[in-house]
Amino acid sequence: MFIVNVEGAIYKNDKWLIIERSKKEEHAGGLLSLVGGKVEQEGNTSDILERTVIREIYEEVDIKVKEDLKYIHSTSFVTDTGENVVDIVFLCEYKSGNARPKSPDEVEAVNWLTARQVYEHPNAPDYLKESIRRAEKSKSANECL
């Protein structure tokens, strides 16, 4: 069985909202990351992935994103504690609020970074760089429509 995790690649004015994960986190503590979290069991429901990413963004960094989310990509990985995870990344456009670490046990710091700053950051793992690369491509395609 897999844990299902969702993340939001949130953009505003050509910058991405990137968090520094709390050092208390079991997986990837202290590394840069997109905002997100685990999908909870809700029984029979629709749009669970989209609702989860919107909820997690608000719970962790106190901002709202527009509801028109775009699928970016999915991956699977094994956590530092041996759990199998399916991770789904969505492109999210900032709507309102001032980003802040609302949940300090999960989020150490909040930053708005350009793609280049993410690519060059020493605490940005390769999977984050790949998600931002794909999100940049998707965002550019959306702007051409």
Domain boundaries, the chain: 3-143
- The pLDDT value recorded for residue 80 is 78
Please tell me whether the overall predicted TM-score, pTM, comes out greater than 0.95 for this model. no
- The pLDDT value recorded for residue 28 is 63
Stretch (H or E) spanning 51: helix 48-61
Beta bridge partners of 11: 16, 93
Cα–Cα separations (whole angstroms), residue 90 to 9, 41, 82, 93, 105: 6, 20, 25, 10, 23
Along the 145 residues of the chain, how does pLDDT read in single tens digits? 899 999 999 999 999 999 997 666 666 667 899 999 999 887 788 899 999 999 999 999 999 999 999 999 999 999 878 999 999 999 999 999 999 999 778 888 999 999 999 999 999 999 999 999 999 999 888 665 5
What class, spelled out in words, does domain 3-143 have in CATH?
alpha beta
